[in-house]
Amino acid sequence: MDNADGDGTPEDDRTGGDAAADAGETPDEDAAGDGRDGPTAVLLDVLPNGRPDDDRPQSRKSPVAYGLGDDSFALYELMLAADADVSVGDRLGLDGPNVGRYREVSFDGLTRNAAAEIEYAAEAIVEADEERFVDFYNEAGPITLRLHQLNLLPGIGKKLRNDLLDERKRGPFESFADVEERISGLHRPREVILERIVEEIREDDLKYRTFVGREE
């Protein structure tokens, strides 16, 4: 985590609004404000006084936040603008005026508070875009001759997998409630997907990833 250069920002981070400013351009205010035209993240933790391992004088520190990406579930460390008024649970446009710089981090690079918010943030992302995750039940395909993407979900064995494949041939699932109603034995289809997402975020050594790292 200690990869800061002389001004306290990581040398290999991505830049959002700063990149446009350096090029003499003005960032799109609408995209910056709500993130609809750029990547967004749900905030997991906000450190208004900067990182605790930053030994520089307080006057030289930038506020820092950690976030979970809406599209790919990537984890980010954000260098916030000094006047950013943000809180845990907010959605923030990474290329907006509240963010100076940002970079991806690993789960181990999060603060304890940020790590504790992962499940809540993932749930907020799924709830905000139910169709996207219901479509996983409609579109999941084979990984190998013996393994199917559906089998990566907790509790989905051969029988439930085959029931899902057979039922979706009759018509696509329209909602999590529709999945639960049509598939006997699959009682919490939303929670099953959430459990897999959180596992993929937390575990670095998983062989297969279905949700984390895939841009929509």
Q: What is the pLDDT of residues 117-133, one digit of tens each?
A: 999 999 999 999 999 99
Phi and psi torsions of 7, nearest 5°: -100, 10
Q: 101: which DSSP letter?
A: E
Q: In the predicted model, what is the mean pLDDT of residues 91-102?
A: 94
pLDDT digits (tens, 9 = 90+) for 169-194: 999 999 999 999 999 999 999 999 99
What average pLDDT score do residues 12-22 get? 43
* pLDDT tier for residue 38 given thresholds of 50, 70 and 90: confident
Sheet-wide strand order for 91-93: 14-15, 99-105, 75-80, 64-69, 40-47, 91-93
**Domains of the chain and any CATH numbers:** 14-111 (2.40.50.140), 129-202 (1.10.150.280)
pLDDT at 55: 67
Instruction: Report the mean per-residue pLDDT for the chain.
Output: 84
- pLDDT reported for residue 214: 63
Which among 163, 139, 161 is positioned nearest to 152, based on CA atoms? 161
Sorting pLDDT into bands at 50, 70 and 90, what band is 4?
very low
Assess whether pLDDT exceeds 80 at residue 156.
Answer: yes
